[in-house]
Amino acid sequence: MKVTLGTLKSKGDELAAFLEPRVGVKPSVSGDSMEIEDESVREGVKPRHVKTYIKRFLFMNGVRKKYRVFVSGKELTIQEIVLGEEPEEEKEEKEKKAPAKEPEQAEEEAAKAPEGPEPEDEGAKAGEPEKAEEPEEKPKKAAPKKPKARKKKAEES
């Protein structure tokens, strides 16, 4: 099994020490790659498991958000995330949070705007957050469930 370290090659020895008890053999580190002998790997350890171990190592070192780990057959690649490119999970979180922050941002922009010949625009900006804060759709509550009818036991005579 081969692990390409990429820009993480400075921590290759630490990663090898971390993986040794988990895979059952000490990986050999050379340059920007790491080799793990398939014959001596503990039974049941698959490349997918090694990926999880690497991600755990990255998390423990505080760099998990900066790297991604890819598995292709018996080859793993640790790749640094390029600036400007965000994981999909973070994009979704920002999109969910963005609508809630818009009224605050509009208020901040209105406060930062210099008072000048256009006071009408500031009034319009100040009015917009009030409209946005009004809840148009209230979450619907589920109707309370009715108790199930119980079967009456046949009277024994």
Report whether 23 contacts 54 (CB < 8 A). no
Same domain? For 69 and 115 the reply is no
Same domain? For 49 and 8 the reply is yes
Q: Bridge-partner residues for 70, per DSSP?
A: 77
Same domain? For 76 and 92 the reply is no
pLDDT confidence of 142, banded at 50, 70, 90? Answer: confident
pTM for the model: 0.53
Range of the domain at 56: 2-80
Whether the predicted pLDDT of 145 surpasses 70: yes
134 versus 25: which is more confidently predicted? 25
Whether the predicted pLDDT of 146 surpasses 90: no
Whether the predicted pLDDT of 109 surpasses 90: no
Same domain? For 49 and 11 the reply is yes
Dump pLDDT digits (tens) for 6-50: 888 889 999 999 999 999 999 999 988 999 988 888 888 899 999
Dump pLDDT digits (tens) for 71-86: 999 999 999 888 775 6
Find the range with the poorest average confidence among 4-8, 29-33, 95-99, 136-140. Answer: 95-99
Residue 12, in any domain of the structure: yes
3-state per-residue secondary structure call for 111-147 = HHCCCCCCHHHHHHHHHHHHHHHCCCCCCCCCCCCCC
CA 70 to chain centre: 16
How many domains does the chain contain in total? 2
Residue 147, in any domain of the structure: no
